[in-house]
Amino acid sequence: MTFKSVNPADGRTVAEIGAFTPGELESALHQAAQAAPHWRRQTLAERCRLLQQAAAILRERAEGFARMMTLEMGKPISEARAEIEKSAWGCEFYAAEGPGFLSDEEITSDAGRSLVVYQPLGTVLAVMPWNFPFWQVFRFAAPALLAGNTGLLKHASNVPQCALAIESVFTDAGFPAGVFRTLMIPSSQVEGVIQDPRVQAVTLTGSEPAGRQVAATAGAQIKKSLLELGGSDPFIVLEDADLELAVEQAVVSRFLNTGQSCIAAKRFIVVDAIAEAFIDRFRVAVEALVMGDPLDDDTRLGPMARADLRDELHQQVVDSIAQGAVAVTGCRPAAGDGVYYQASILDHVRPGVRAYTEELFGPVASIIRAADENEAICIANDTDFGLGGSVWTRDSERGERIARQLECGSAFVNGLVKSDPRLPFGGIKHSGYGRELSRLGIHEFVNAKTIWIR
């Protein structure tokens, strides 16, 4: 078996990389397990130094890594460069703040001295997606490795070059052999790796079905798991919103990475009083997006990552229109070569329409009209997902009050939902459980051990 790297902009095969043999997989698992006890005993200062070196390598090789990313999954090159920079920032953040997050905590109790210490679990398997092929990995790896764990990466099968490049970053930064390994295996072998006694925990960013399978396997083995799954984030626009700002950020939030993001705004819940004004401005801005070669710095809308994903998205759009939604612009594949889909807006999306209940993972915005603030909140929470959400109003106190009522892991007021190393990130409901990033993220894969001394 081989993993094919196919450029979605033109359908050409960029590279083919062979899958691991059973012996190669066994060697990688053995290497990670052997490295674990030595790595956990390494000084925290040295682990910080190596993470800083990884950040430096990311920046040194940024252009090559960005181009690789664009050729493998179609991300516009300007966004790819930004992703490499964010990955370097994540490494630097944990190198600077990690020692404080991992420091012992003294607790007052009936003991002469009692404290909580944070110790690594062992080897953590990461099952990662293609849409942010560097950042998704580094936001797991930076805290997990700094805490003293070793890491195994099972990356998405359509980004094999990125998967191997990430391993090379850690190797070239000086991390000991086995501390981070990329596993070139198909999804069918993930269950066996989770079940392997040399693996202590698993984290997955991906689809809801994949999350259910990973959680079931980890649960059966009584192993820690963390899931970051899909989202159908609400973007609530109230009658007192700054429309210019809301429209500008709506375009970025929906169409960044060609709309292929879990935390992209997907349901635009607009109160009736300003619905027409918002939609008119939104349509103009969406139609101005430049679609084209993702290697061109002027391109803002690249191809979707795979043809099957585009076909699935278009079927959701076709069904939604048949169920009563109205096409405002786009809503069909782009002509010509490559896996392109037009920047699209669906209006009058209501319950019973696929675009109302399902995640549209691509460049399609769904407009849902609400009578007022209360109905907007009800619509926002009327979903199985709970990853992020945003509120747009000139009244920041009103925005905070509404943000507190949204059923999600992150709620932003007058800002698009984004991940930030300084802030916890994760979801509730069918969007998963656990938190990445910040202090909470590094504590997901440690043993918070109580020590009591008379």
Burial (CB count within 10 angstroms: exposed 0-12, middle 13-18, buried 19+), residue 278: buried
Whole-number Å distance between alpha carbons of 259 and 268: 14
Torsion of CA 47, 49, 53, 58, to 10 degrees: 60
pLDDT in the model for residue 320: 98
pLDDT in the model for residue 356: 98
* 31's tokens: 């290497």
Contact 366, 360 (CB under 8 A): yes
Write down the catalytic residue from 162, 262, 331, 408. 262
* 346's tokens: 């669906």
- Residues in Cβ contact with 271 at an 8 Å cutoff, skipping those fewer than 6 apart: 237, 238, 239, 369, 370, 371, 372, 373, 376
CA 250: distance to chain centroid? 19
- Would residue 262 show up in a list of annotated catalytic residues for this protein? yes
Torsion of CA 87, 178, 434, 146, to 10 degrees: -60
Delineate the domains of the chain, giving CATH numbers in brackets.
2-229+431-453 (3.40.605.10), 233-418 (3.40.309.10)
| Paired strand residues for 270 | 237, 369
pLDDT in the model for residue 216: 98
pLDDT in the model for residue 111: 98
Overall pTM > 0.95: yes
pLDDT in the model for residue 231: 97
Whole-number Å distance between alpha carbons of 184 and 17: 8
Sign of the CA dihedral with 89 first, then 87, 435, and 367 last: positive
* 440's tokens: 């909470």
Q: Pick out the chain residues at pLDDT < 70.
A: none
- Would residue 91 show up in a list of annotated catalytic residues for this protein? no
Write down the catalytic residue from 72, 79, 228, 407. 228
pLDDT in the model for residue 114: 98
pLDDT in the model for residue 184: 98
pLDDT in the model for residue 67: 98
Torsion of CA 266, 280, 241, 362, to 10 degrees: 10
Phi/psi region, residue 115 (left: phi>0; alpha: psi -120 to 50; beta: rest), is beta
Whole-number Å distance between alpha carbons of 145 and 420: 18
Whole-number Å distance between alpha carbons of 208 and 401: 30
- Eight-class DSSP state of 83: H
Burial (CB count within 10 angstroms: exposed 0-12, middle 13-18, buried 19+), residue 124: buried
pLDDT in the model for residue 328: 98
Residue pointed to by tokens 């349901």 = 267
Contact 121, 446 (CB under 8 A): yes
pLDDT in the model for residue 255: 98
Whole-number Å distance between alpha carbons of 137 and 155: 9
